[in-house]
Amino acid sequence: MRRFPYRVIRAAFLFINSFITIAILSAVAMITRNPFVFPSLGPTAFLFFYAPEAPTASPRHTIYGHALGILCGYGSLWVFGLTHALPMAEVGVTPPRIFAAALSLAATSALMILFKCEHPPAGATTLIVSLGIVSRPFHLVLIEVAVALLALQAILINRLAGLYYPLWKAPGEPE
């Protein structure tokens, strides 16, 4: 930090570690032929390596937040009879899909506040599910596994870099 500008160091840290974490998950996806990479992992990785000390970046917030997003997304599909429907990108926008997406985001947001596990990227996860991009129950489980793997990578990488990163929740954060 004394030899190079702070912003350059931070940018390089984010570049290298975002690349590594998503490359590993992409390799797992390629080997298993399952969706271990999805769009909301990008902002999650950014939080992990940009602001690891923030409560929203803690493993607790991340794992619970994405779990709520998955449950609310699939629940909204169920409520509107869309569990076996094609993705919105293939069939277009329909009123049930609009309401499923709106309900999933509203429920995910409210529940994250109620359960004290705010993690903004989980809002993207719930839309990924409620829009039908990823909606098979087995794949939804894999999404949560991918989130847990990303959290484990964040623990390892941040601690190896000498940065404090909690094993579960941020210090002083209520349970």
Domain boundaries, the chain: 6-160
Average confidence (pLDDT) over 34-46: 95
Quick one: CA torsion of 143, 35, 49, 157, rounded to 10 degrees?
A: 100
Who contacts 47 (Cβ-Cβ below 8 Å, separation ≥6)?
A: 54, 56, 57, 62, 119, 120, 121
Helix ranges (H only) for the chain are: 6-32, 41-50, 59-79, 88-91, 95-114, 121-130, 137-160
Average confidence (pLDDT) over 83-91: 95
Asked if 143 contacts 125 with a C-beta cutoff of 8 angstroms, the reply is yes
Share of the chain above pLDDT 90, in %: 92
Tell me what pLDDT residue 25 has: 96
Mean predicted lDDT score pLDDT of the chain: 95
pLDDT digits (tens, 9 = 90+) for 89-133: 999 999 999 999 999 999 999 999 999 999 999 999 999 999 999
Reported as a pLDDT band with limits 50, 70 and 90, residue 170 is confident
Cα distance between residue 27 and residue 7, in whole Å: 30
pLDDT above 70 (res 43): yes
Reported as a pLDDT band with limits 50, 70 and 90, residue 175 is low
Cα distance between residue 60 and residue 81, in whole Å: 31
